[in-house]
A and B are shown apart, each in its own frame.
Chain A
Amino acid sequence: MHGLVALLGPAKVLGTHDDLLLYEYDGAVDTATPDAVVLPESTADVSALARFCHEHAVPIVPRGAGTGLSGGAIPVEGGVVVSFARMARILEIDVPNLRAVVQPGVINLHLSTAVAPHGLYFVPDPSSQKACTLGGNVAENSGGPHTLAYGVTTNHVTGIEIVLSDGTVVRLGGKAAEDEGYDLVGTFVGSEGTLGLVTEITVKLTPLPEDKRTLMAAFPTMDEASETVSAIIAAGIVPSAIEMMDQLAAQAVEAAVHAGYPLDAGGILLVEVDGPRDGLDEARARIEAICRQHAASEVRVATSALERERLWAGRKGAFAAMGRLSPDYYVQDGVIPRTRLPDILRLVKDAGARHRLRVANVFHAGDGNLHPLILFDSRLGPDELERAKAAGLEILTACVEAGGSITGEHGVGMEKNCYMPLQFQSSDLAAMRRVKDALDPPGLMNPGKIFPTPSRCREFAFASTTR
């Protein structure tokens, strides 16, 4: 602590008991208090900090806005939390080359707002985009509703500056679309802070679509809504987003935004098509017809930008609105083949019932990326979270068995690292481990994440041959 203050000055270091308590949580359920918090203002600060931690064998845990949903920013093994809140400048907007260079603390939506006057935007749009940072997006390889058509963060990052655990500053990639040698940019995106600290990011900017059509369709049950999703894709239409929510989620969402989400529908779809204006109305009409064929009781097309914004505000604020239903929630992020939606959703419901917990669903149906929100009340005792986690594990196991994965976009973090053997053979994990060891030999970068740890994962003795 004293060493850190001597190194960086008192304004960049937090160390009192009261202050440290405030860095023990993120957007999810796990907590752990750091030994110190550092607020760097430059790459040089980060490098000096890494050298210091390397010398003293202290773990380093990066933190963006703390909106993460897998405990990525939680210092589970203690050490220093590095908050990038003060490295939040857009360094360059290169309009002709469709690139921006940013610091990791820039808020996702702020970048899109800043480049909007040039007719551009940054595509990945996680639901927390009003608050989450681009550094966090890179760490988690974040997605969002529009990944269906446009891909996830890794498809929109062309260069990064990294501080390795010994303090070395490495610049990978750049503004060019392709780079020779190993795709290390791709390796770092989604590495959850376990390989190094991202201090600068070069991202792709994309021209805003000429126009959009946004439909909200209400169905009697989740089954019809699920079948509609497959039917839309089967018809050869590629919407930019297909989102689904169930009745319970719609209740919370409607109370928050008053966007006109029907409260009596069993399942609701939000479908968007965008691109050149020609052909959009035809796509909209075809989607509308498919919804009606699948017993949609109501199909509403947003008639104004405001109405569209409202509908999206509802969808994007859905997790954040869960406080209206329950003091706590545990969200899963499993991915399944789209065609399995109806039976896996039934299984999700059963898992909740078995553990006596309500489950709300609001998710990226087009990608088959589920988000069951398991509602619990931690004030009733530790048993509540345990039951929520047990239900979550059953759901993830089913996802893997259905040919899917345990996480689509939230990251593994400390929340699902014990479940990695569900999906990977020990030899797969060992290969990943060798990459980690090569880039972070002392293992100080965000320890306790992604890989199963003996101390915390003892009770999960999965046969790692599930696949």
Chain B
Amino acid sequence: MTGPIPMPYPNADAPAQDLIAACVHCGFCLPTCPTFAVLGVEMDSPRGRIHLMKTVWDHRLGADSPGLEDHISKCLDCRACETACPSGVEYGKLVEGARSQIVTARPRSPLERLVRVGAFDWLLPHRRILGAFAVFSIAAKRLGMGTLLRATRLGLARRMADLLDLLPDRATSDPLVAAPAKGQRRGRVAMLEGCVMGSVFGATNAATARVLARNGVEVVATPGQTCCGALHAHAGERERARELARRNIAAFERSAVDAVIVNAAGCGAAMKEYGWLLKDDPEWSARPSVFAAKVRDATEYLGDLGVTERPGTLRGRVTWDDPCHLLHGQKIRAQPRALLAAIPGLDIVPLEEADWCCGSAGTYNVTQPDLARSILERKVANIVRSGADTVVTANPGCLMQIQSGLRHSGSNVRVVHLLDLLDEAYRAH
């Protein structure tokens, strides 16, 4: 007698076989995949990646095989394939599952382990440290550190320079203050402050609260909240993501609100999936799903609620770029467009491939610099061709990535978060 065949994946976070079985390998996802568009090979298409995951279950490929790691790492996790898929394959869950197994199955170098601990344990969950790091990095960037790093001609230094490049010229870390509803109260919400949002785009958080308040929504403070864990989950660090999720759920449960508002599309998509993230944690049972049902993107919430006060007039030619984790991750398409259209005076022009990833995708710039550049160049070319003077989006990664791409191409098109633009319009009264 031989024993049972050992499980081919290291643990229960493995890409679920039931989800894989929904793929009928029709190929409809291929033309929507940014990496397939650049590389043209089946391994770097969603269908190919799902087949790789399946071959591991079939014991034809090891979870530690270099091919699996290479192609799963090249995935942006933009989830455009989910929108394209008639069978409703939940690709995001699959690819994050696969990443968690690769991280476990393959030994990491001491340097990579250090980087992971530094980024995921020290920086992201600790607002103060991250804030200080951002201020330091922006100062370094303004002092020309990027040029210096590039001059070393070391791969790692060059990547650090690429990262610095992404940073905006000024970080704002204004703490989020509770805001009472103006006029008749139509809702009571909490807000995720977020790691990057809180320490680099603090002004956008404050703007979001002001716009909500102006439309009859009371924003209450939620102490004890932390980073949402999306970047951890994307990088395969599911245990670390779970710790953060538990802390957030507990914190937001205490604030008894109608909704938890998120103005970073990547965070919202991750928080709506807390139920899946904690599915194997019996102690928490339904709590994550109950919490997840309350999570709303700021554009989704305000778009559904409708603006009560007409924003002031702004001038300019603007275009909307869908953050992947808003459109593909959360299936939110109409509401941000409606909010943009609610601002009088704007000339709204269409953006070709607005539903394509800009190449930001968490830490993609650092892990896949060449691919990220190709994908970003395509986005920048489309933005320039649209003739817009302002591109509007709703996710910190996209804001930084597109800004850096435009800067490099010598374009002076402005990039702005939709809630900042709305706030600007209200102030223009």
Contact = CB atoms under 8 A, between A and B. Distances in A.
B48 interface: yes
Interface string B140-178: 000000000000000000000000000000000000000
A19 interface: yes
A324 B26 CA distance: 13
B51 A319 contact: no
B31 interface: yes
Nearest to B20: A327
Contacts of B52: 18, 21-22
B67 A128 contact: no
Q: How large is the interface on A (under 10, 10 to 19, 20 to 34, 35 or more residues)?
A: 35 or more
B55 A39 contact: no
Contact of B40 (A85, A130, A377): A85
Given A27-B25, A130-B31, A328-B24, A321 B41 contact: no
- Which of B40, B42, B48: most chain A CB closer than 10 A? B42
A23 B55 CA distance: 13
A323 interface: yes
A67 interface: yes
A19 B87 contact: no
Contact of B86 (A26, A39, A321, A328): A321
Interface in B52-102: 52, 55, 60-61, 65-68, 84-89
Interface in A214-233: none
B26 A128 contact: yes
Interface in A124-162: 128, 130-132
Nearest to A88: B40
B22 interface: yes
B30 interface: yes
A14 to B, nearest CB: 7
A66 interface: yes
A319 B24 contact: yes
Contacts of A131: 26-31
Contact of A323 (B23, B40, B68, B84): B23
Interface residues of B, number: 34
Given A21-B55, A22-B42, A256-B86, A320 B65 contact: no
Contact of A256 (B23, B55, B88): B88
Nearest to A85: B40
A131 B37 CA distance: 12
A279 to B, nearest CB: 34
Contact of A107 (B22, B31, B42, B47): B31
A458 interface: no
Interface in A276-302: none
A134 to B, nearest CB: 13
A65 interface: yes
A86 B23 CA distance: 25
B67 A19 contact: yes
B37 to A, nearest CB: 10
A442 B79 CA distance: 45
B295 interface: no
B22 A327 contact: yes
B31 A320 contact: no
Interface string B36-50: 100011110001100
A379 interface: yes
A255 interface: yes
Interface in A24-69: 25-27, 39, 65-67
Contacts of B24: 27, 319-320, 322-323, 327-329
Contacts of B88: 255-256, 321, 323-324
A22 B51 CA distance: 7
Given A16-B67, A22-B48, A317-B28, A323 B21 contact: yes
A253 B29 CA distance: 17
A441 to B, nearest CB: 31
Contacts of A17: 67
A319 B22 CA distance: 12
A22 B67 CA distance: 11
Contacts of A67: 26-28
Nearest to A378: B21
Nearest to B89: A323
A137 to B, nearest CB: 14
A423 B122 CA distance: 71
A323 B28 CA distance: 13
Contact of A66 (B27, B31, B65): B27
Contact of A19 (B30, B40, B43, B85): B43
A105 B27 CA distance: 14
A67 B41 CA distance: 14
A83 interface: yes
Contacts of B43: 18-19, 22
Contact of B51 (A21, A86, A321): A21
B296 to A, nearest CB: 21
- Which of B24, B30, B86: most chain A CB closer than 10 A? B86
A377 B51 CA distance: 16
A409 to B, nearest CB: 16
Nearest to B67: A18
- Which of B21, B28, B60, B89: most chain A CB closer than 10 A? B28
A255 B86 CA distance: 9
Contacts of B47: 66
Nearest to A325: B87
14 contacts: A18-B52, A21-B61, A22-B42, A22-B43, A22-B51, A26-B25, A27-B26, A66-B47, A110-B31, A320-B28, A324-B22, A324-B88, A327-B22, A329-B24
In the A-B complex, the 6 residue pairs with the closest CB atoms? A18-B67, A323-B87, A317-B86, A85-B40, A327-B21, A321-B86
Given A22-B48, A131-B27, 10 more contacts: A19-B41, A21-B60, A39-B40, A65-B31, A66-B25, A253-B86, A255-B88, A320-B87, A323-B21, A323-B87
Interface of A: 14, 16-19, 21-23, 25-27, 39, 65-67, 83, 85-86, 88, 107, 110, 128, 130-132, 252-253, 255-257, 317-324, 327-329, 377, 379
